Amino acid sequence: MARLTINGISKSFGATFAVREISLDVEDGELVCLLGPSGSGKSTLLRMIGGFEAPTAGNILIDARDVTSLPPEKRPTGMVFQSHALWTHMDVFNNIAFGLKLRRLPKREIRERVEQALALVGLADYGQRMTSQLSGGQQQRVALARSLVLEPKILLLDEPFASLDQHLRERLREEVRDIQQRLGITTLFVTHGQDEALALADRIVVMRDGGMEQIASPDRIYREPETEFVAGFIGSMNFVRTTIRDGFSQHQAFALPVPVCDGEVVLAVRPEALSLVAAKGTGTGIVHRSIDFGTHKIVDVDLTDGTRVKVMAPSNSGWTKGAAVEPVAAAFRAFRDNRLVYETSAVSATHNDRMFGHA
Ligand SMILES: Nc1ncnc2c1ncn2[C@@H]1O[C@H](COP(=O)(O)OP(=O)(O)OP(=O)(O)O)[C@@H](O)[C@H]1O
Ligand SMILES: [Mg+2]
């Protein structure tokens, strides 16, 4: 258990800024997911916390102790790398025991701790196997056990399950969550997958170009994105470009009050915040198709300006291709130059709770 404090950390490689002035507090036992597109600095940030990369500026504290200049083995951190490298010339037992041997622990204690770690990741009988005789998922578990056996106060996981199929990934991430909670290890977990972040995280950090775009609970990241980038990064989102004049959107289908200065904005509306009514005349949209997901339908609607929006409709609704419709927005946010300039009050909680995670 430990508290991690990151103070204004930056890292540049020559002229490229991989990480820009990130400050972040991770509480004891908390699991924080770093989410962002490829090249946004997630691995670099994690490697700096683990001591594998030296920051250009800023410092890192673990339980109020400055560890910025300590090498990896002197830090109370354990890291599972993006491309996990197990030693192929050693069996599973020795892969996991390696770090303990470096610490010169007595043989009996090493055996006990390795066996515990193997049991923890569900590989109790696999100690004697060579790592080449393991499936991808089993290798990932060995990599995890190898970190856990050193009893790190802070666990750093860099897309540990990226190479696995969806099913196995879901199972392993649930196991990681269980282990993490049982041991109360403060954890940073890098992922590309928004589903993974929503399922695992106490809080999510959305990264972009080395900077932190937003940090908040999964729920808030989903419902209250502070930038257009975050709004589009998690879950399904409709974006509609429009011009504001005298406090009103000039868009034909979204002629809504938006009390901001005149000029361009982007309206962001979740599919579950949109509904359809049949048009009296030609309508502002035409149904392109409707897909039945069992619990609900997703109706694609083409607006007259060429924008296509997705509408979440009840499963018993019967919108057919070619129908003339009017989309109605119950809630939306307006962004200008990526920044939030206006938000309506949130969609009713019950509606959102039902839909949360299914977008
Ligand atoms: N050793 C290095 N030398 C030069 N540039 C680097 C180095 N390591 C990373 N970078 C650059 O820093 C930026 C951030 O890289 P990083 O690996 O942290 O991204 P990431 O978010 O982990 O991406 P991915 O999702 O693809 O793993 C990239 O532009 C990358 O090219
Ligand atoms: Mg990476």
Instruction: Answer whether residue 342 is part of any domain.
Output: yes
Residue, of 74 and 82, whose pLDDT is higher: 74
Instruction: Answer whether residue 228 is part of any domain.
Output: no
190 and 261, same domain (yes or no): no
Q: Name the residue of 13, 22, 161 whose CB sits within 8 Å of the most ligand 1 atoms, as the mutation to test its pocket.
A: 13
185 and 330, same domain (yes or no): no
Q: Give how many domains the chain has, as a whole number.
A: 2
CA of 180 to the centre of ligand 1 (A): 27
Q: Rounded to whole angstroms, what are the CA distances from 176 to 45, 137, 167, 184, 188?
A: 21, 13, 14, 11, 12
13 and 143, same domain (yes or no): yes
346 and 307, same domain (yes or no): yes
**Residue 167 has what pLDDT?**
81
CA of 166 to the centre of ligand 1 (A): 25
**Residue 220 has what pLDDT?**
95
326 and 350, same domain (yes or no): yes
For residue 82, pLDDT over 80 is answered with: no
- Residues that place a CB less than 5 A from ion ligand 2: 43
**Ligand 1: residue whose CA is nearest its atom 22:** 43
Model pLDDT for residues 135-174, shown as the tens digit of each residue: 888 888 899 889 889 889 999 999 887 777 788 788 888 8
**Residue 359 has what pLDDT?**
35
Residue, of 198 and 19, whose pLDDT is higher: 19
114 and 188, same domain (yes or no): yes
CA of 111 to the centre of ligand 2 (A): 33
Residue 184 region, left (φ>0) first, then alpha (ψ -120 to 50), else beta?
A: left
From 202, 223, 244, the end of a domain falls on 223
97 and 148, same domain (yes or no): yes
Instruction: Answer whether residue 62 is part of any domain.
Output: yes
CATH of the domain at 134: 3.40.50.300
Instruction: Answer whether residue 70 is part of any domain.
Output: yes
Q: Name the residue of 12, 19, 34, 40 whose CB sits within 8 Å of the most ligand 1 atoms, as the mutation to test its pocket.
A: 40
Q: 0.85 exceeded by the pTM?
A: yes
Instruction: Answer whether residue 168 is part of any domain.
Output: yes
Instruction: Answer whether residue 284 is part of any domain.
Output: yes
102 and 45, same domain (yes or no): yes
> Could you tell me the pLDDT band of residue 205, with boundaries at 50, 70 and 90?
very high
CA of 304 to the centre of ligand 2 (A): 41
93 and 189, same domain (yes or no): yes
CATH of the domain at 344: 2.40.50.140
Instruction: Answer whether residue 119 is part of any domain.
Output: yes
Instruction: Answer whether residue 74 is part of any domain.
Output: yes
**Ligand 1: residue whose CA is nearest its atom 11:** 18
63 and 176, same domain (yes or no): yes
The parent domain of residue 297 ranges over 236-355
For residue 357, pLDDT over 80 is answered with: no
346 and 299, same domain (yes or no): yes
From 200, 223, 246, the end of a domain falls on 223
From 223, 249, 269, the end of a domain falls on 223
For residue 37, pLDDT over 50 is answered with: yes
Model pLDDT for residues 293-306, shown as the tens digit of each residue: 999 999 999 999 99
211 and 130, same domain (yes or no): yes
For residue 4, pLDDT over 70 is answered with: yes
